[in-house]
C-alpha cells in the first residue's frame, strides 16, 4: 500500500505557515500544525510550541508559505462509463492538485466501491471517495448512461440505480442502496414531489442523506427543497421554478427565460434561497460547468446555450451567496487529461470572478461546506485538532489570487505527503 496513511506515532510538525483554516476567517500568521499518523493533534501559534517539544518528529519549515485544508469536489463522475485507467489517472491528478475528498453523484458503484477502497487504504493515489446510489422514475432508465453503469444487469433493477414507483417498497429500496456503502441517495429525475419527500424521509430514517437535482421533473425546485433534501445540484435548474408551464419529464424541459434572472434579484429565487438558508440546504452549484472549454459544444446553437447557461449560473449563484445559502464546490466535469490541475480549480476561479464571492469564502465553500455536503464535517473541512491531516501547502497566497492554488508545494492526505514535483500531467504517479 504505497500511499497508505502513516501509523500512530509517526509525528510531523509543520511550522511557520500562514494558516487559512477553512472557516472563512483571515490567514493566521506563523502557525504550527502537528500531525500524528493520519490526524491533526495540535494547531497553535509557533511561539506556543517549542521547537524541541516533539523530539525526533519530522519538521517542515513553511516560513513564507500558506496552508489551507484539503479541497473537496462535491460533484464528480469517474465511472460513467467505467474505465479503470482513466479513473485512476483522474484520482491521481485530484490529490496532487489539492483535492483530498470527492463526492460521486452516482456511477457504476461496482467500480466506485473498489476505487474508494483503493484510495482509502493507499493502494493508489487519490482522494477519499463518498458516493450516492441513484433513484429515479422508470421513464429515466432508457437513458444510455444507465446502461453504461449497469452493464450485465438491468438498469433500474440494481441496488445502485433503482426505478421508483408508488408501489416501491421504500424501506427495502433504501436498505438496498445502503448496502452498496453509499453515503446518500441521489434523487435524479422523473419523480413527483411526493416521491421525493417519501424517499428523503425514509433515507433520513435509515441514517443516510439525500442529494437531489435542483429540479426532478415533474417535482419543481420548490418541491425538492420542501422535501427536506440535504443538498441540491446544478444552480441553473432552479430557474425551472419560474417555468411558464408545468414540469413534466426530464427529457421534456420547458424553455428558460434567461433575461428574467440577469439582474440577480429575482424575487421568486429569493424565496427559494430563503427556504434553503433556513433549512441548511447546500447548493452544489456546479457554476462553471457550462464554461468548460476542452469538451465544449462546437455547433453555434450549443455554444449559444452554453453561454446563456453560464451567465445564468453566475447570476443565480451570486444571488444565492448574498442570500446566505451554503454553497459547495462541485464541478460535474474534468479538464483535459493533459491539463496539470483538476477542474475544481476552475470552479473556484469562476465563483470568485463571475459570482463575486470573496476568495476566503470560496475556500470555505471548497473545504468546510464541502465536508458538510458529504456529511464528513466532523473529520475534515477545517484545519483543527481531531480532524484528518488533510492539508494543501502553497507557495503563494490564495486569498490574494485564487490562481495561486496552482502554487502547490505538497499535499497531505490522511498524513501521507504528496509532493507536487512527483506528479506528471496525464497519469497518476505510481
3-class SS string, 332-376: CCCCCCCCCCCCHHHHHHHHHHCCCCCHHHHHHHHHHHHHHHCCC
Looking at every residue in the chain, the average pLDDT score rounds to 96
Cα–Cα distance between 339 and 379 in angstroms, integer?
A: 30
Q: 3-state class of 286 per DSSP?
A: coil
Summarize the confidence of residues 247-253 as an average pLDDT. 96
Q: With 80 as the cut, is the pLDDT of residue 140 above it?
A: yes
Q: With 80 as the cut, is the pLDDT of residue 294 above it?
A: no
The phi and psi torsions of 43 (rounded to 5 degrees) equal: -135, 120
Q: 3-state class of 47 per DSSP?
A: helix
At 226, list the grid cell.
420542501
Instruction: Give CATH 3.20.20.140 domain extents, the chain.
Output: 71-373
Instruction: Give CATH 2.30.40.10 domain extents, the chain.
Output: 11-67+384-422
Q: With 80 as the cut, is the pLDDT of residue 57 above it?
A: yes
At 67, list the grid cell.
496552508
Give residue-wise pLDDT tens across range 298-339.
899 999 999 999 999 999 999 999 999 999 999 999 988 889
The whole-model pTM stands at 0.97
| H or E element at residue 291 | none
* Calculated CA dihedral for residues 39, 43, 46, 49, nearest 10 degrees: -70
Q: 3-state class of 408 per DSSP?
A: strand
Q: Which CATH architecture has domain 11-67+384-422?
A: Roll (2.30)
The phi and psi torsions of 56 (rounded to 5 degrees) equal: -90, 15
Residue 426's pLDDT is what?
Answer: 55
Q: With 70 as the cut, is the pLDDT of residue 429 above it?
A: no
The fold for domain 71-373 equals TIM Barrel (3.20.20)
Give residue-wise pLDDT tens across range 164-184.
999 999 999 999 999 999 999
Amino acid at each position: 500500500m504505497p500511499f497508505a496513511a502513516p501509523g500512530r506515532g509517526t509525528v510531523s510538525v509543520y511550522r511557520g505557515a500562514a494558516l487559512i483554516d477553512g472557516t472563512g476567517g483571515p490567514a493566521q500568521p506563523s502557525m504550527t500544525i502537528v500531525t500524528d499518523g493520519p490526524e491533526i493533534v495540535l494547531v497553535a501559534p509557533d511561539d506556543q510550541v517549542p521547537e524541541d517539544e516533539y523530539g525526533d518528529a519530522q519538521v517542515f519549515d513553511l516560513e513564507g508559505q500558506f496552508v489551507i485544508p484539503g479541497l473537496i469536489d462535491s460533484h464528480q463522475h469517474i465511472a460513467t462509463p467505467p474505465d479503470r485507467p482513466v479513473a485512476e489517472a483522474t484520482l491521481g491528478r485530484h490529490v496532487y492538485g489539492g483535492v483530498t475528498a470527492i463526492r460521486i453523484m452516482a456511477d457504476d458503484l461496482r467500480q466506485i466501491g473498489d476505487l474508494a477502497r483503493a484510495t482509502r487504504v493507499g493502494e493508489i493515489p487519490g482522494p477519499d471517495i463518498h458516493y450516492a446510489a441513484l433513484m429515479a422514475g422508470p421513464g429515466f432508465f432508457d437513458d444510455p448512461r444507465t446502461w453504461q453503469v449497469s452493464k450485465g444487469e438491468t438498469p433500474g433493477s440494481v441496488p445502485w440505480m433503482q426505478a421508483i414507483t408508488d408501489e416501491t417498497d421504500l424501506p427495502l429500496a433504501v436498505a438496498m442502496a445502503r448496502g452498496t456503502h453509499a453515503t446518500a441517495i441521489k434523487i435524479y429525475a422523473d419523480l413527483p414531489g411526493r416521491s421525493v419527500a417519501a424517499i428523503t424521509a425514509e433515507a433520513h430514517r435509515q441514517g443516510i442523506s439525500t442529494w437531489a437535482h435542483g429540479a426532478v421533473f415533474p417535482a419543481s425546485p420548490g418541491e425538492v427543497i420542501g422535501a427536506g433534501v440535504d443538498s441540491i445540484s446544478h444552480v441553473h435548474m432552479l430557474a425551472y421554478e419560474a417555468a411558464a408551464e408545468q414540469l413534466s419529464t426530464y427529457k421534456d424541459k420547458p424553455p428558460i427565460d434567461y433575461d428574467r434572472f440577469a439582474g440577480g434579484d429575482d424575487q421568486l429565487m429569493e424565496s427559494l434561497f430563503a427556504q434553503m438558508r433556513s433549512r441548511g440546504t447546500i447548493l452544489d452549484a456546479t457554476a462553471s460547468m457550462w464554461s468548460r472549454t476542452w469538451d465544449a459544444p462546437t455547433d453555434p446553437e450549443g455554444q449559444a446555450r452554453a453561454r446563456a447557461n453560464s451567465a445564468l449560473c453566475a447570476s443565480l449563484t451570486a444571488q444565492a451567496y448574498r442570500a446566505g445559502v451554503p454553497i459547495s464546490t462541485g464541478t460535474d466535469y474534468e479538464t483535459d487529461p493533459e491539463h496539470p490541475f483538476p477542474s475544481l480549480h476552475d470552479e473556484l476561479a469562476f465563483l470568485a470572478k463571475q459570482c463575486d464571492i470573496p476568495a476566503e469564502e470560496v475556500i470555505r465553500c471548497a473545504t468546510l461546506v464541502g465536508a458538510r455536503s458529504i456529511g464528513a464535517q466532523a473529520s475534515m473541512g477545517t484545519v483543527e485538532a481531531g480532524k484528518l491531516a488533510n492539508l494543501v501547502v502553497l507557495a503563494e497566497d490564495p486569498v490574494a489570487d485564487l490562481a495561486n492554488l496552482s502554487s502547490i508545494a505538497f499535499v497531505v492526505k490522511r498524513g501521507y505527503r504528496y509532493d507536487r514535483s512527483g506528479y506528471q500531467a496525464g497519469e497518476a504517479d505510481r
